[in-house]
Amino acid sequence: MRKTLTALPAIALFLAGCTATPATNAADAPLAEPVASPVATLARDAAMPQQAADAYYVDAQATIDAKIAARGVKPAKNVILFIGDGMSIPTVTATRIYAGQKRGLDGESYKLTMDQLPYSALSKTYNNDAQIADSASTATAMMSGVKTNSRTLGITGKAAYDNCGSLEGNRTDSIFDLAERAGLATGLVTTARLTHATPGAAYSETPDRDWEAFVGVPGADVSSCPDIASQFIDWPEGDGFEVAMGGGRSAFLTGGTQDPEYPGKTSDRKDQRDLIADWLAKPAHKYIIDRAGFEAEDFASEDKILALFEPSHMEYELDRAGDPSGEPSIAEMTRAAITRLSQDQDGYVLLVEGGRIDHAHHAGNAARALEEADQFDQAIQAALDMTNSDDTLIIVTADHSHTLTISGYAKRGNPILGLSSTSLDGTPDKALDGKPYTTLGYMNGPGACRPTDEGFDCTRQDLTDVDTTDKNFLQQSLFPMWSETHGGDDVAIFATGPGSELISGVMEQHEIFQVMGRASGLVAGPEAE
C-alpha cells in the first residue's frame, strides 16, 4: 500500500472560465463543442509526496522553485500531459512535413498544433542507470519526479530490477495519486496497452514493466508485488480513474478465456481472476470493447469508463483508416475523456499517450510512425479546442528519442517518405555505391537486411524501382538489429496554459512533475518541508 501523504496548508486557486480559442490548425474530423469551464474557487491541500527526500526530487524541486520565485506561477485547475512515445525531434520535423504534404500543403512551412504552443524547452532523457532510457523509467520521471532504473515503474532508483523485496521505502506518489487524494478526476488515454510502460507509471509500482498480466518470478510473493493490471483495478487512490481507454484487454480477462473479438486468442493472465468483473462490480462502472460501445456511451454522465479496444495494442491508424466500425482514433478518445473529466467541478489530471509512434520506429517503419504522430497532434488540437488556456495546463513531450535521421540535400517539397532528390526533374540522388537513398533512415534496425532463402542479405538494396512511400516499406538502416533502438538525444517539450511559463531552457525530465504539481497546487514547494 502507498503511504499517506502529509497534508499542508490549503492553496486557494481562483479560476474563472471563458470561451476556448481554437488553434489555427484544424484536425481532419470535426471537433466537439468546447467544454465550458465553470467559474470555481478551488482549495487544494498541497502535498509532500513520499519520494520527496530522493536526491533527484530535491534537485528538481529547487530548480522549479527558483523559476517560480523569478517568474511566478499561475494556478491550473486542470492538467493534461501528452506523451508522444518515442517522438524524437527528427520525428516532429518529419511529421510536420508529412502532415503538410498529406494535406496538399507546403510541408516544410506547415505548422503542427504542438509547434504553435507558446512555451518550449528541451528535456534530458537519461535515467538513473542508463544513458539511453526506456519508456518505464522516463514515464516515472515525468509522473513522480524522480529518475529511476530502466524497466521499472513507480519506484525510485534505490529499488532493484526484478526484486519485489526492494520496493519498501522506495515507492513513489504519482501526480495521479495526488490528484485522486485531493478529489480531482483522473483519466488515461493511450493507443498502447493500458498496462504498458507509459500509462502504467500513473498507477503502478513494480520492479519489472513486463509484469503486466502476471508476476514473472517463480515463487514471488504476489501480495507484495502484484501484476500491473491488478494494480489498475485495485488502485486505492480516491474513487479511482473516471475514464481509461486504450488496448490491453488480454491482461484483464480470466486466464484461458477467449477474447470476445478474436476467437482463438486467449488471456495472458495465469490466474483465474476476472478483472473485468471486478471493475463492473463497482457502482456506475462501465466497460467498452468496440466503437459501437464507444459511440453509445454518454461521456457527459457520471459513469466510470474502462475501454479496452484490443487484446494488445490498438491498431495503427494506417491499418484501420476508413473502417467506420473500427476503433476510435486518439483524437476521438481525447475528446471523450475531456468530456467525461469536465463533469468534475474540482478539476482533473489526464494523460494522453501516442504509444504506437514508438512501435513503428522499432519496426523501422517511418510511414506508420509519422501517421501516428500526426494523429497524436490532432489529439492535441482536440484538447485545445475543448479547454481553456486560462485554467488548463497542457504539456506535450516525448519520453525518449529514436534513431530516425533526416539527411541528404533533398529539394524543397520532395516527398518526405521518398528518395532524396536535388534535381528539378526528380532524378534520385546517388550514394557512392551508385544506389539511391531515402531522406529518412535509421541508425539501426531491421531495414539493414532482407530475408532470403539462405538467410539474410545485408547488402544495401537498390531502391530505384521501390515505392518507399508504401506504408509497409522499412527505411534502410546502418547496422542490422531485429528491433530499432531508442536514441539518447534530448526531446522537445511544448506547453501552454497556467504553469507553462516554467517550461524553458534545457530541463531535467523529472522537472515536468514539479511543473504540473506546483501549477495545480497538488505538490508543495521546499518551503513546506
As annotated, the active-site residues are: 135
Which cell numbers hold the place of 407? 539527411
Which cell numbers hold the place of 485? 533502438
Within 10 A of 488 (CB to CB), how many other CB atoms are there? 15
> What Rg value do the Cα atoms of the chain yield, rounded?
23
Q: Is the dihedral of CA 372, 374, 380, 384 positive or negative?
A: negative
Phi-psi domain of 166 (left: phi exceeds 0; alpha: psi -120 through 50; beta: other): alpha
- Which residue has 490532432 as its cell numbers? 378
Within 10 A of 106 (CB to CB), how many other CB atoms are there? 12
Angle at 139 between CA 145 and CA 236, to 5 degrees: 75
Distance in angstroms (rounded) separating the CA atoms of residues 252 and 278: 10
Phi-psi domain of 238 (left: phi exceeds 0; alpha: psi -120 through 50; beta: other): left
- Which residue has 518529419 as its cell numbers? 94
Q: Is the dihedral of CA 201, 205, 209, 210 positive or negative?
A: negative
3-state SS, residue 195: coil
DSSP conformation letters of 411-437: PTT--TTSB---STT-PPPB-TTS-B-
Q: At what angle do helices 511-520 and 55-71 cross, to 10 degrees?
A: 50
Distance in angstroms (rounded) separating the CA atoms of residues 397 and 403: 17
Strand-strand pairing, 392-397 and 6-15:
unpaired
Phi and psi at 95, nearest 5°, equal -65, -40
Distance in angstroms (rounded) separating the CA atoms of residues 79 and 497: 9
Exposure string of 323-334, with b = 16+ CB inside 10 Å and e = fewer, is: eeebbbbbbbbb
Report the candidate in 210, 179, 205 with the shortest Cα–Cα distance to residue 193.
Answer: 210
Instruction: State the SS3 of 474-511.
Output: CCCEEEECCCCCEECCCEEEEEECCCHHHCCCEEECCH
Q: Which residues contact 46 (CB under 8 A, 6 or more apart)?
A: 8, 9, 10, 11, 521, 522, 523, 524, 525, 528
Structural contact between residues 223 and 231, judged by C-beta atoms closer than 8 angstroms: no
Chain centroid to CA 503: 18
